[in-house]
Amino acid sequence: MQPSPPPRWVVLKYGGTSVASRARWEKIAERVAACIEEGLRPVVVCSAVSGISDRLDALPAAALKGEAEAPLAAILERHRRHAADLGVDPGLVADDLDRLSRLVKGIELVGETSPRVHARVMAFGEILSTRLGAAFLRGRGLDAGWVDTRECLDALPDPDPRRAFLQAHCGHGLDPALGERLDGVGRAVVAQGFIARDADGQTVLLGRGGSDTAAALFAARLGAERCEIWTDVPGMFTADPRRLPDARLLRRLDYDEAQEIASTGAKVLHPRCIPPVRAHRIPLWIRWTERPEVEGTVVGSRVDDAPRVRAISTRTGQYLVSMDTPGMWQQVGFLADVFAVFKRYGLSIDLVSTSEMNVTVSIDPAGNAFDAERFAALSDALAPHCQTKLIGPCAVVSLVGRHIRAILHRLGPALTAFEEHRVHLLSQAASDLNLSVVVDEDQAPRLVRNLHWLLFQEAARDPAFGPSWLALSDVGEQTAEVEGITPWWHAERERLIALAAELSPRYVYHGPSVDAAAARLTALSSVDRVFYAMKANPEPRLLQRIERAGLGFECVSPAEIDRVKAACPDIAPDRILFTPNFAPREEYVAGFEAGAWVTLDNLHPLEHWPDVFRGRDVMVRIDPGKGRGHHDHVKTAGARSKFGVSFDQIDRLKALAAQHDVTVVGLHAHSGSGIRTAAQWAEVAERLVEAAQRFPTVRHLDVGGGLAVAEKPGRAGVDLDAVDATLAAFKAKHPRYALWIEPGRYLVAEAGVLLARVTQLKKKGPVRYVGVDAGMNSLIRPALYGAYHAIVNLDRLGDAPTMVANVVGPICESGDTLGYNRDLPETREGDTLLVATAGAYGRSMASHYNLRQPALETVID
């Protein structure tokens, strides 16, 4: 008989957010099944459920203060909920939870803890998540066994107990015994990240974020075919995509580059996970759990040695210790003396810069326990040698790439970004893989943005760089793919070109698209009334169409009320909502006179102008406390938003209403715009019910607008059926309230386009510009919110792109850019460009800046 071939292992590592919900575990099950199908044996290495490690980290200190009960209960509850979400037996983790509780009690009783106990406490995060996850996979019919990683990975000895227990190292040599051990566990094996054991069998940790390293160790010891890191972004990017949505996906990196990007701050990979896979030449993939079809980053052996910049990384919370000494010049042993003091205090130094009279070093608190107290002690110990000063918090911003020294001249333009920043320290790594500067922490985001723009805009066509995070996601919001929906303007192309030839720039609105959106909204079974938030677009012919569809109007100024009444003279006043914000007294008087529903969103009017409201019915805008939306400026809830009455003001509101004979008949909340989370509106309704319980006179709840539309090709807007279903469930629970909604964008965004003619073309260095006659005075959303609008060349619709350009307007502002790095076909002066999804907040936010007339409007059928 032929001996069976050795198993071909693959390691799949899932991070905290990737194991935190049933939806993600469905993805894990699919991936495991696909690997098995490929003939591979998957080892699934998991993190703790996101947020749990942080909570566990804080538990021992809380226990010492006798305050562990509540955080412990929260951890237990989170896992019970998680088990319920996954549909697995919570009893599976009962013993572990019990052990954790007893351990915490133990700390409380003896009144002390240690790195050893700390490691034991933290290990529970991974243990709990894997027990539940493995059961889920088995429930999916997969042959998935569970192992305790501590029986698989041994740590190397370390004399420093903190490092030994909290930042342990493990060997990564091939380990045939491990393969044999896992072989019997199941077709797939579920194991914990982050943990290992020492020679005494004690639990040790691999450092925060160390699950990646555990995965790489499994891969190395098993000689796996590859190690896949599944996380909440599609790969490694040119900068942290969550801070810089323009960051581009890096399709391929060699081990050295990935190592450097990780060590200089890109959290997506734990820096210690590279050596094990590099030693065995195991390819490391980084991929997006939520959307596995997106090709991520492949880290492998070096393919070429060309100098290049790959990424900009940032580490925040850093401190500089500046040491002045007039006597240092040509003195022997000065550095040895001061560094010995750092060694004595167990502080590891990161960057160093020296001059005749000063040595400055940086300290990374992530690898050190460094605080004011420790600095004071250090400073005393250094006193015989020098005068010390602490500078911080700072950020280390690093440009990472191969042979950075060889391309310093190419960085010339990028260095202009430093003009406005005080650079505390500059350091060029001896490895020639990074150039780092230290600036004040609050300067870092702007510096990174500038540097990124200067360094990577030319990379637009380089195939090594994949799409931007902005293009791949709607800045982190959940989206669904849609196929086969062609925007209305494809069929109207000829007509639009003719309209632009007649007058440009020009907004064109497609009436039937507005009708269709209105019909979708009036079809919602759970919603009693729909009001159009007309600030999105008050064009009178659109108002008339919307009125004919049976919608009401939400107005935010008396002029908007006048506009509705002029466009729709027969409209019943009770179809008008008046929702002003920080408006003067007389506007409320005007609102009541117009017969509209008047909404209060502050107590000031009731406190100071009670006569205006006496005997009246009012609506009150409540701040639901949590903002959502595509940009900070459009989030309209939370203490930092100027809108709404907060929950803690409700008692006062009730008292004022009673005192002045005012009846609160409705409550309203609106938490932002561009929201795709279907349950959002039902959540707002639930919040409103909490407030409504205090006001028996409340009859209707207005859950606001913010329904997202599809802004990008292939991207869906909010799922209206799902919104309807969640609101219907709400109504079934609370039948006494009528539900109102007030969308704006949803009705008009897709119906509108902005047409602009190409005026001039320019190429400056590597950057191309396509100039058009429409600027930010016509459409301010890209400049104001960084909003994305698709841009196409109507004259060459469907032609393959041949250039990447910034589409810019004629306004004297560098922000006057309608789109960055857009793929366009060969484009010439006089061509008609179409800016899509411009029907909402386009013309209505336009201005005469530079004394330029904004685009005029046309409605077509």
Q: Which residues bind ligand ADP (CB under 6 A)?
A: 15-18, 47, 209, 231-233, 236-237, 239-242, 261, 266-268, 311
In the complex, least distance from residue 124 CB atom to ligand ADP, rounded to whole angstroms: 17
C-alpha span between 380 and 374 (Å, rounded):
10
C-alpha span between 494 and 508 (Å, rounded):
13
Interaction mask 205-224, ligand ASP, x per CB under 6 A: ---xxxx-------------
C-alpha span between 521 and 549 (Å, rounded):
10
Name which of 48 and 86 has its Cβ closer to ligand ASP.
Answer: 48
643 neighbors 637 (Cβ within 8 angstroms)? yes
Name which of 209 and 674 has its Cβ closer to Mg ion.
Answer: 209
Name which of 209 and 235 has its Cβ closer to Mg ion.
Answer: 209
**The entry of Mg ion, ligand ASP, ligand ADP, none that residue 193 binds, CB within 5 to 8 Å by partner kind:** ligand ASP
647 neighbors 627 (Cβ within 8 angstroms)? no
389 neighbors 322 (Cβ within 8 angstroms)? yes
Verify binding: residue 125, ligand ASP, rule CB under 6 A: yes
CA distances from 156 to 115, 181, 194, 202, 661 (A): 16, 21, 15, 12, 76
Name which of 271 and 552 has its Cβ closer to Mg ion.
Answer: 271
In the complex, least distance from residue 262 CB atom to ligand ADP, rounded to whole angstroms: 9
C-alpha span between 436 and 82 (Å, rounded):
42
CA distances from 61 to 178, 209, 548, 592 (A): 36, 20, 64, 58
Longest Cα–Cα distance in the chain: 98
704 neighbors 643 (Cβ within 8 angstroms)? no
**The entry of ligand ADP, Mg ion, ligand ASP, none that residue 627 binds, CB within 5 to 8 Å by partner kind:** none
**The entry of Mg ion, ligand ASP, ligand ADP, none that residue 242 binds, CB within 5 to 8 Å by partner kind:** ligand ADP
C-alpha span between 370 and 391 (Å, rounded):
13
Name which of 25 and 788 has its Cβ closer to Mg ion.
Answer: 25
Verify binding: residue 842, Mg ion, rule CB under 5 A: no
Name which of 122 and 808 has its Cβ closer to ligand ASP.
Answer: 122
Verify binding: residue 776, ligand ASP, rule CB under 6 A: no
**The entry of ligand ADP, ligand ASP, Mg ion, none that residue 208 binds, CB within 5 to 8 Å by partner kind:** ligand ASP
In the complex, least distance from residue 728 CB atom to ligand ADP, rounded to whole angstroms: 35
Give the contacts of 327 (CB within 8 A, at least 6 positions apart).
none
Q: How far is CA 511 from the centre of its chain?
A: 35
Give the contacts of 768 (CB within 8 A, at least 6 positions apart).
761, 762, 803, 804, 805, 806
Name which of 258 and 543 has its Cβ closer to ligand ADP.
Answer: 258
Residues shown for the chain: 861
Name which of 18 and 436 has its Cβ closer to ligand ADP.
Answer: 18
Give the contacts of 277 (CB within 8 A, at least 6 positions apart).
216, 219, 220, 227, 255, 283, 284, 299
- Segment 201 to 260, residues that bind Mg ion, using CB under 5 A: 209
Verify binding: residue 60, ligand ASP, rule CB under 6 A: no
**Residue 208 phi, psi (nearest 5):** -55, 140
Of 35, 227, 273, 812, the catalytic one is: 812
In the complex, least distance from residue 823 CB atom to ligand ASP, rounded to whole angstroms: 37
C-alpha span between 237 and 245 (Å, rounded):
10
- Give the 3-state secondary structure of residue 328: helix
618 neighbors 599 (Cβ within 8 angstroms)? yes
In the complex, least distance from residue 438 CB atom to ligand ADP, rounded to whole angstroms: 18
In the complex, least distance from residue 238 CB atom to ligand ADP, rounded to whole angstroms: 7
**The entry of ligand ADP, ligand ASP, Mg ion, none that residue 421 binds, CB within 5 to 8 Å by partner kind:** none
**The entry of ligand ADP, ligand ASP, Mg ion, none that residue 53 binds, CB within 5 to 8 Å by partner kind:** ligand ASP
C-alpha span between 703 and 70 (Å, rounded):
33
CA distances from 445 to 242, 313, 342, 804 (A): 11, 11, 30, 26
Verify binding: residue 47, ligand ASP, rule CB under 6 A: yes
In the complex, least distance from residue 30 CB atom to ligand ADP, rounded to whole angstroms: 18
In the complex, least distance from residue 126 CB atom to ligand ASP, rounded to whole angstroms: 6
Indicate if 812 belongs to the active site.
Answer: yes
Residue nearest to ligand ADP (CB): 15
Exactly one of 14, 194, 319, 342 binds ligand ASP (CB under 6 A); that residue is 194
Exactly one of 18, 53, 673, 680 binds ligand ASP (CB under 6 A); that residue is 53
| Cβ neighbour number for residue 91 with a 10 Å cutoff | 8
Which stretch in 9-17, 111-119, 615-623, 750-758 sits in contact with Mg ion by CB under 5 A?
A: 9-17
Exactly one of 9, 15, 656, 703 binds ligand ASP (CB under 6 A); that residue is 15
Name which of 60 and 209 has its Cβ closer to Mg ion.
Answer: 209
In the complex, least distance from residue 18 CB atom to Mg ion, rounded to whole angstroms: 10
Active site residues per annotation:
812
Binding site for Mg ion (CB under 5 A): 15, 209
State the residues that interact with ligand ASP by CB under 6 A: 15-16, 47-48, 53, 125, 193-194, 208-211
